[in-house]
Structure 1
Amino acid sequence: MNDHGEDPFDELMRRSLAEEAGRIEPADGLHEIQARVRAQRAPVSRRPWVITTGAAVLGTAAAIGAFAVLNDNTKTADQPSVAGGPDTTTTASADPSTAPTLPPTPKPNPTKAVTLPPTVDPSDKTRALQEPEVKQKAVPIYWLGKVVGNKNGPDYRLYRTWQSINGRPAEEAVRLMTMSKVAGDPDYVSPWDGAAVNSVRYTDDLILVDFKQLPAATLEPDVADMAAQQLVYTVQGALQRTAPVQVTEQGRTPKTLFGVVDANQPLNKAQKADVQAMVWIETPENNQTVKQSFKVTGIASAFEAQVDWRATNLKTKVVVKNYTMAAEGQKFASYAFTPKLGAGEWLLEVYLTSPEDGRITDTDSKTIYVK
């Protein structure tokens, strides 16, 4: 017991320690306690035992605070750190109620297999298309005609007529082409006489013409080549296609056509200037009866577009002649004119003349009856 009575400083220290002990929370309050103690102390000299006791108490408080911090599992990230102390990193427990909802991971979608259309093999006859049937359709048919006047080219060239058909256009055109009498003109012939067509089919790249029977005749090479072009021009014209033509006989490819033309390969279309007649009459037809005001039409490849014509009365021998102009010169183009002829039987001739000497180079003719 102190002889001098209670020291006010000692009483103040006891109170402070008691208050601080009651307020201890699981946080580091050491610096805060020290700050309050220093603020309340009077500037008096300390006794040695007081200093020792105070240091021990403060050390105990610091230890308790440190223990509380190390074992605080309820501290969350939004609680502030103690002022004046070092930042303390803690791990917050995940709250399932506040966790963001992520979209479900999509399941892999297997790629669909793409089905491509089958490639048509031109050699596969079963995949070729057949023409639809039609009624009253005009189709072109080509014939061979002997060239009159021009000795610088082939002896025969192609002449075109038009025929109205019912059925499959190309198939019917080939069928008619195999009969020379259908041409209706003794100047036109067909080396395909006696052949019998079976079918005409096509793909994008090939036209397939199958015959029940092919011609047995053997021709001179130039004529055989022209006969092959007769078929190509007729079929392509009726189909309105430009693909090459493969000829078969009862489904089999023959070695040759007319004993000369290689039939193992498809036949390609030759240039018009190499095979077509340089001039021909399309209307009127041979042996046709016409009125006195009739029109003549045809095709010509004429120098400077001039096309000459003449009509001879077969009874009176009267000759009427003149010329007309084709739509274009030096290329195959249409022409037309209207002759003035009296009643009777006439031989109508359309021809081209040489610009060098005026001789007739190419001609076509029709016998007509004017009434």
Structure 2
Amino acid sequence: MNTPRSRSVALSLTAVLSAAALAGCGNDPDPVASDPASTSEPSSTPESTDATTEPTDPAETTEPTQPATTTAAPVYFVGDTPMGPRLYREFRQVEADNPYAEAVALMVAGDVVDPDYDSAYPDGRFASIEVDAEEGVILVEAADDGWNTPAPGMTKAQAELAVQQLVYTVQGIAQDRLPVRVWLGDPTNAVPLFGIDTADGLTAADPLDVLALVNVTSPEEGTTVSDKFVANGLASSFEATVPWEIRQGDTVVLKGFSTAEGWMDKLYPWQSDVDVSGLAPGDYTFAAMTDDPSGGEGPGPFEDTKTITVE
């Protein structure tokens, strides 16, 4: 087993898994960072691809309705923050008939869209994953015993973050806070994950302890924008204030702020209309931040950045 990569924490891997269906990822699907039942839908969250064909003339032969081929899944990666490595979320399009397989494969492999993110996993893979509705647990099958103990050089904090990366991803897909059990050989044979016992079911840690306190959902990394666009995401920021900036190199060329739906106890949705009609065409960086009431005396604000192109 290889040593984890040096940035934040590390990994590369592929996963082969069996799955359950993902329902309604458009509403913030994270079951801990915000409550799906009370969260407004992000305006640019990816939606399922629907191949349905509607005929314009009833006399014409209608094509059979095709099921959605892909769906949006929340995948959690690791990124740097003023308080050490934490989890950031990307919505990724995955196969609708088996979202766990592809989403967890992306997670463990560190297959990111935003190059600021990475993964906490060393080389290896999971063999399968499924939701046992009767028992009320998400069952994750280990491929072998290589991840039973921490990888060489992996600290306890890194191991715990890797565990949370898995828990947040599969619970987000399930949209349920079901405990997660890792097994090998027999589903009743729970095994540790990087030395952390899973027999009683892994649960999501407090989001304020493991998630980056600001996360940009839209614009996505590499988005092209013109005139106006809507920026949104999740944050837990002082007095719900979420400042944002557009930078060109080290120069701030535009700034504003959003007011999130809440703060303090978890991450809440924020949204802001951004007018870039006065900017020259070119490449820029959109940055959303937490407010820093300490005036620089504390660790500093959390930040999530996305490269955008203004046309």
TM-score tier, shorter chain, comes to: 0.5 to 0.7
**In the alignment, which residue of structure 2 is the partner of 1:355?**
293
Q: How far has the Cα of 1:254 moved from its partner?
A: 7.4
Following the alignment from structure 1 to structure 2, what is the Cα–Cα distance between the partners of residues 211 and 292? Answer: 49
The alignment partner of 1:141 has SS state of strand
Alignment of 1:1-371 (within 5 A): 131=20, 135-147=69-81, 149=82, 151=83, 155-166=84-95, 167-181=97-111, 183-192=112-121, 194-203=123-132, 204-212=135-143, 217-218=151-152, 219-249=154-184, 251=186, 256-258=192-194, 260-314=195-249, 317-330=251-264, 331-341=266-276, 342=279, 343-357=281-295, 360-371=300-311
Higher relative contact order (CA 8 A, sep 6+): 2
Q: Conserved in 2, the CA contact under 8 Å of 1:141 and 1:173?
A: yes
Q: Conserved in 2, the CA contact under 8 Å of 1:195 and 1:211?
A: no
| Identity rate, percent | 31
Q: Conserved in 1, the CA contact under 8 Å of 2:217 and 2:232?
A: yes
Q: State the Cα deviation string for residues 58-88 of structure 1 (Å, max 9, x = none).
A: xxxxxxxxxxxxxxxxxxxxxxxxxxxxxxx
Q: How far has the Cα of 1:274 moved from its partner?
A: 1.5
The alignment partner of 2:290 has SS state of strand
More divergent stretch after superposition (299-308 vs 214-223): 214-223
Following the alignment from structure 1 to structure 2, what is the Cα–Cα distance between the partners of residues 274 and 317? Answer: 32
Q: What are the ranges of 5 or more consecutive residues in structure 1 without an aligned counterpart?
A: 1-128
The alignment partner of 1:225 has SS state of helix
Following the alignment from structure 1 to structure 2, what is the Cα–Cα distance between the partners of residues 368 and 261? Answer: 40
The count of residues paired between Structure 1 and Structure 2 equals 235
CA 1:250–1:178 in 2, change beyond 3 Å: closer, same or farther? farther
Following the alignment from structure 2 to structure 1, what is the Cα–Cα distance between the partners of residues 296 and 269? Answer: 22
Q: How far has the Cα of 1:318 moved from its partner?
A: 4.9
TM-score, normalised relative to structure 2? 0.68
Name the amino acid aligned to 1:196.
R
CA 1:255–1:320 in 2, change beyond 3 Å: closer, same or farther? same
CA 1:143–1:256 in 2, change beyond 3 Å: closer, same or farther? same
Q: Conserved in 2, the CA contact under 8 Å of 1:212 and 1:250?
A: no
The alignment partner of 1:298 has SS state of strand
Q: CA RMSD, aligned part only?
A: 2.5
Q: Conserved in 2, the CA contact under 8 Å of 1:308 and 1:352?
A: yes
Q: Say which one has the larger Rg.
A: 1
Following the alignment from structure 2 to structure 1, what is the Cα–Cα distance between the partners of residues 93 and 289? Answer: 27
The alignment partner of 2:141 has SS state of strand
TM-score, normalised relative to structure 1? 0.58
Following the alignment from structure 1 to structure 2, what is the Cα–Cα distance between the partners of residues 159 and 286? Answer: 13
Following the alignment from structure 1 to structure 2, what is the Cα–Cα distance between the partners of residues 262 and 347? Answer: 41
Q: How far has the Cα of 1:319 moved from its partner?
A: 2.5
The alignment partner of 1:337 has SS state of strand
Following the alignment from structure 1 to structure 2, what is the Cα–Cα distance between the partners of residues 250 and 345? Answer: 51
Q: Conserved in 2, the CA contact under 8 Å of 1:283 and 1:298?
A: yes
Following the alignment from structure 1 to structure 2, what is the Cα–Cα distance between the partners of residues 194 and 329? Answer: 37
The alignment partner of 1:176 has SS state of helix
Name the amino acid aligned to 1:165.
V
Q: What are the ranges of 5 or more consecutive residues in structure 2 without an aligned counterpart?
A: 1-17, 23-67
Name the amino acid aligned to 2:256.
N
Q: State the Cα deviation string for residues 152-176 of structure 1 (Å, max 9, x = none).
A: xxx1111111111113122332122
The alignment partner of 2:229 has SS state of coil
Q: How far has the Cα of 1:291 moved from its partner?
A: 2.2
CA 1:250–1:171 in 2, change beyond 3 Å: closer, same or farther? farther
Q: How far has the Cα of 1:265 moved from its partner?
A: 4.5
Q: Conserved in 1, the CA contact under 8 Å of 2:215 and 2:235?
A: yes
Following the alignment from structure 1 to structure 2, what is the Cα–Cα distance between the partners of residues 194 and 141? Answer: 18
